[in-house]
Structure 1
Amino acid sequence: MTSQPSREDYAPNIVALISARWRDHADAVVMRYADEDDRWIDVTGAEAQAMVDATAKGLVARGVEPGQSVGIMARTRIEWSILDVAIWSVGALPVPIYDTSSASQIDWITSDADIAFLVVETAEHAQLARSVAQDSESPLREILVIDEGCMDDLRAAGAGIPDSVIAERAALATLDSPATIVYTSGTTGRPKGAVLTHLNFVRHTYGIQEELDDVLLFDGASTVLFLTLAHSLARLVEVVLLASGTVIGYCPDSRKLVPYFASFQPTLILAVPRVFEKVYNSAEQKAAAGGKVKIFRWAAKQSIDYSRALASPGGASLPLKVRHAIADRLVLSKIREVLGGRARHAISGSAPLGERLGHFYKGLGLQVLEGYGLTEVTAASHVNRTRLSKIGSVGTALPGFEVRIADDGEILMRGDMLFAGYHRNAEATAAAMADGWFHTGDIGHEDDQGYLYITGRKKEIIVTAGGKNVAPAVLEDRLRGYALVSQCVVVGDAKPFIGALLTLDAEALPGWLKAHGLPELTVAEAAADPQVRAHLDKAVERANGAVSRAESIRKWDVLTDDFTVENGYLTPSLKLKRAQVLRDFADDVERLYAPAAR
């Protein structure tokens, strides 16, 4: 491992970091976006820089000042990145807003961050924003719409601005300057705005490039970016990819993700666990529809067994190697093709992937590197490395971080990537910090090599009536890995035993029913069907195998409505709003503990 450069050797800000790479890759492709016919359009480093400069000039012409907050509300598309870098290039602060945000959420963020200038994607977004702007107390004054040609309008408006103005503006920010305000997705109340600095991103980029050079820094490295750029992890990924020259293919519509994998052929997959679960479940359902589900499951077992054997001292036996080769020819190679055929590495974050899926993907030739982090530590503090990855852990700390485990198991961190505090919220900042250490709210432990294992959220720990402390995440993650389960909420605080509420995956249901020889059923019918429930009972039993009897699920039930972003039970980053679920489904929880339920 090479030594990290000193602060004096860093690029002076994010713009300088990215622009240097684009100069070095002036004639090389650095971005790709799909046209209306889903054909990929290439953008070179020189073209990307020209697009940013022209947009930056337009922002200056429209009155954007240094230090001003500028909002971006859009799906993950090339315009997002062009705007992001252009706003930094004029010395301003891009502030992301989830494209699924309600009027009240837009109102809160624009007011708290004092956003007068907002760029949105669609006419629907603009309508919501304009309803907010009508309030006389709202700072929001100008709303531009990407779908209505605002990028061309900005370029036209800035045609008369000299290059020297942008050069001067781009040099204004120092490493200590605020770079952005990222609002947490708000699982427990109103979102807090984490202020992240240029140092946070620049220092982080150097460390990630050093540790993942074999993933990012080689000719032909590429990925499809579909994670929402309003989330801190996707935002960090964006900066690292732009600064590394890794080709980004933008995917605004997650429904097109699989065909985009096939046409783009990425070398790196960046996703949340649910995507890996969906790929596995879809492959299983397709096999079932063709009458080959037994072959699929046999092949999946060979993949898992092979991966586990690779981690053992003796390695894989000859008979296992033969079985794995047959499984690869029959099934595993086809799944690699679904992912484009060139991917050898994947990075997964936001929730645990699960040991079983981790081994499955490694066995088919895709090494999934799990990571961990929070917005307040610039999205990523830990990640597994290709050279030594421990499935089930989130890896070791990235350069620049110090980690400590408190007496109660809470993970504490400090370092160069620690945020500058919550915007206009000194009280919340003080509550999150103690003696320079950020209290993550997550519970975990480190092994003797510094690999971190996450066991749950401190605030989510369930204390049963018998005094047993239970971390619900272990059970919930295992149950969500079952093809038929969409969401799971483990309950039992101050109750005599642990229970759970499950929801069904409506997309997976038809294929699952066919694979199990069952007739077509609606979600509501399936939730009550004895055979469906018998399979769910087995899934619960398997999940219980990961915990002690006192922590195991004794009673469970199925809700007929799923938890989604649209109905307000999931955050835009797909985290469960547990408190809201427990409040709104309190009667369903109580039924688990009614005398007749025992």
Structure 2
Amino acid sequence: MREYSVPVLVDVPLSANCTDTVFQRGVDEPDAVVIRRKDGDAWVPVTAREFRDQVAGVAKGLIAAGVELGDRVALMSRTRYEWTVIDYAIWTAGAVGVPIYETSSAEQVKWIISDSGSKGVFVEQESHEQTVREAVPDLASVWRIEDGGLEELTRLGADVSDDTLAERRAARGGRDLATIIYTSGTTGRPKGCELTHDNLLFTARNVAHGPLELLFDVQDRAALLFLPLAHSFARIIQIVLIETSTVIGHTANMKNVAPDLQSFKPTFLLGVPRVFEKVYNAAELKATSEGKGKIFHSAVKVAIEWSKAESTGGASLGLRLKHAAFDKLVYGKLRAATGGSLSAAVSGGSALGERLGHFFRGVGIEVFEGWGLTETSAPSSVNIPGANKVGTVGKPFPGVTIGIADDGEILVKGRHVFAGYWNNERATKEAIDPQGWCHTGDVGELDKDGYLRITGRKKEILVTAAGKNVAPGPLEDSIRAHRLVSQVMVVGDDRPFVAALVTLDPEAMEQWKEANGRSGASMAELCTDPAVVAEVQQAVDNANLSVSKAEQIKKFVILDIELSEDSGHVTPKQSIKRHVVTRDFAKQIDELYG
């Protein structure tokens, strides 16, 4: 088995817990701004002292409400300032946080609250409370953020002494459970991943002072969070930002991301590939609609060439001159759209693709891809400033060992690996073998320098009727990068050839209709429009160039609906629920092979 290890950089003491930095900074740097909170159109600064005091106030309220050491407390909300306050307050009270996606159904909420044994739950708004009450009618405590729930708790805890709070906080150490994160899962009931304070702190401090140190070593560093904090990816970045004294902003509504980027002016961004695809696609559509498509595509080509040249020894004088010219015409405008201060971002969740990776680096916003699972406290590997190998997910971060099993499965060891699945010993034994390896289910390869490349998902490998193994991920990622495409699912298991289901991006199609004189066309009409079909065919043809003839997509159908969380076809981290899509669109799949 091929292995690659990186030595531990920060040896976090087992006496530490996730609240230490919040309370220490409240004493050492009480007036330092740690968060800028959105209030209307303004960003209001929150100091270290103010944040600590708000966390302490809510924690005292939880204690007064009867929350004991080790009790589970759930949190169902969009990403917002209060999410961070509540998260740290639960830890300060000595309890365990259980995040719930705000889009969760009553059945999902019932399972998470009942399986975790949560004693109470924070909800953002009335609709969330209705879902919780429907799911768990006898739950004693429900605190609503938008109805004064935090203020109510703070008043309730007014008589809890500082000494009592300090005792609670000090009672939790590295080995103690910090959170149970339920994997959204594409099949079956979600499993609760047990992550300790040491899992989270060890990960955050080794990432922050290791591979990503340069990203947090800039003046006036700030980061805008808009991905769901219920997911482990955004959650660990939140902890990294607290640990590195990076000013945090929150955006609850994805539609507000563009204006919030311009007003908040982040230096660092966390995203998933779909976010970067949308930025690129919007820029391409805007340029095309303004008659500047040729200039834009030339700029894209130069950006990619420049990035590739930088990876192999530096650009030629001619390429540097072209790059400088397009920097004024195109790249500078793209950077301005992100606030003008953004120079780096981290992407995870799925593959970004080499083309987009090189494009953004050429524009001046370097995207560092990383990889991991909820079971590994989110990251296990990440690319490094100054050694960013585009197309890979980087090397293991300090303290992590990655191995490739004989069947190609990626295995992981380290202090970041979860303690196990809550109430599910059988699943824990399946995930962690007797040698301590965490079996990730992903398939990949390590190059000679220790960089990891993801090549597929073990359970998602398709086997055609001819016996050909096909990894759908790379094909899907390539097609999804097209400006008009929203989702793709490759099919072909036990079928004579590979095919695909494709959906269109509603926002992109609105711009396309306007530019092509089809403003009155319905989505159903667009799915069979020859011009749209030709665009998707081009995306499929490009994807097919990367695989053998037997793996190529021979046919596709464009569905006239959006595969989304609301439709039940996509998880909160935008992974397709293949079994659900296969069931719901069995007729369309059969017709592809008719």
2:9 maps to which residue? 4
Q: Distance between the aligned counterparts of 2:532 and 2:207, measured in 1? A: 45
Q: For residues 509-535 of structure 1, what are the alpha-carbon distances to aligned partners after superposition, in whole Å with 9 as ceiling and x for unaligned? A: 021244456565221111011121112
Q: Does 1:223 align with 2:223?
A: yes
SS at match of 2:420: coil
1 CA distance for matches of 2:77 and 2:246?
A: 22
Correspondence for 1:493: 493
For residues 546 and 25 of structure 1, what CA distance do their matches in structure 2 show? Answer: 53
Name the counterpart of 2:113.
110
Aligned CA RMSD, in angstroms, stands at 1.4
Equivalent position of 2:51 in the other structure:
48
Aligned partners of 1:489, 1:119: CA distance in 2, in Å?
A: 36
In the aligned structure 2, how far is the partner of 1:434 from the partner of 1:143?
39
Shift of 1:17: 3.6
User: Is structure 2 residue 183 aligned with structure 1 residue 178?
Assistant: no
Secondary structure in 1 aligned to 2:448? Answer: coil
CA distance in 2, matches of 1:11, 1:239: 17
User: Could you tell me how far 1:24 is from its partner in structure 2?
Assistant: 3.5
Aligned position for 2:257: 257
Cα distance in 1 between the residues matched to 2:264 and 2:307:
27
Q: Tell which deviates more after alignment, 68-77 or 512-521.
A: 512-521
1:396–1:21 Cα change, 3 Å: farther
Equivalent position SS for 2:56: helix
Q: TM-score, normalised by structure 1?
A: 0.96
Counterpart Cα distance in 2 of 1:571 and 1:6: 35
Deviates more, 1:11-20 or 1:341-350: 11-20
How many Å separate the matches in 1 of 2:228 and 2:130?
21
Determine if contact 1:17/1:202 at 8 Å carries over to the other structure.
Answer: no
Segments of 4+ moved more than 6 angstroms: none
Over 3 Å counting, the alpha-carbon distance change for 1:373 and 1:3 in structure 2 is closer
SS of alignment partner, residue 507 of structure 1 = helix
Q: How does 1:68-467 map to 2 (within 5 A)?
A: 68-134=71-137, 140-211=139-210, 212-313=212-313, 315-435=314-434, 436-467=436-467
Q: d(CA) in 1 for partners of 2:458 and 2:11?
A: 36
Shift of residue 216, structure 1, vs aligned partner? 1.8
* Distance of aligned partners of 1:74 and 1:441 in 2 relative to their CA distance in 1, 3 Å threshold: same
SS in 1 for 2:274: helix
The TM-score with structure 2 as length reference comes to 0.97
Which of 55, 62, 65 is the aligned partner of 2:65?
62
Q: Secondary structure at the match of 1:434?
A: coil
> How far does residue 342 in structure 1 lie from its aligned partner after superposition?
0.6
**C-alpha deviation, 1:141, in angstroms:** 1.6
Find the partner of 2:29 among 17, 25, 30: 25
Amino acid at match of 1:210: H
Cα deviation 1:555-591 (Å, max 9, x = unaligned): 1111111100101001111111111111211111111
Q: CA 1:133/1:519 → structure 2, altered by over 3 Å: closer, same or farther?
A: closer
Q: Which runs of 5+ in 2 are unaligned?
A: 1-5
Per-residue CA distance 1:103-157 (angstroms, 9 max, x = gap): 10110000000012111000000111111232xxx6x221111110111111111
Q: CA deviation at 1:5?
A: 4.2
Task: Give the distance between the partners of 2:536 and 2:312, measured in 1 at CA.
Answer: 32
Q: Counterparts of 1:5 and 1:571 in 2: how far apart (Å)? A: 34
> What is the CA distance between 1:49 and its match in structure 2?
0.5
After superposition, give the CA deviation of every residue in 1:390-412 in whole Å (9 maximum; x if it has no partner).
Answer: 00000000112111101110001
> Does the 8 A contact of 1:540 with 1:553 survive in 2?
yes
- CA-to-aligned-CA distance 1:271-307 (integer Å, 9 cap, x gap): 1111111111111121122221221111111111111
User: Given residue 4 of structure 1, which amino acid in structure 2 is its aligned partner?
Assistant: L
Q: Structure 1, residues 341-389: CA drift from partner, whole Å, max 9, x if none?
A: 1111100000111111111100011110000000000011010000201
452-461 vs 203-212, which moves further: 203-212
2:562 aligns to what? 562
Letter of the 2:83 partner, please give it.
Answer: W
Distance in 1 (CA, whole Å) between partners of 2:573 and 2:317 is 43
Q: Secondary structure at the match of 1:266?
A: coil
Q: 1:496 Cα deviation (Å)?
A: 1.2
CA distance in structure 2 between the aligned counterparts of 1:255 and 1:519, rounded to whole angstroms:
22
Unaligned runs of 5+ residues in structure 1 are: none
Deviation per residue, 1:310-359 (Å, 9 max, x gap): 1123x211111111111111111100001111111100000111111111
Could you tell me how far 1:21 is from its partner in structure 2?
3.8
Structure 2 residue matching 1:391: 3-state secondary structure: coil
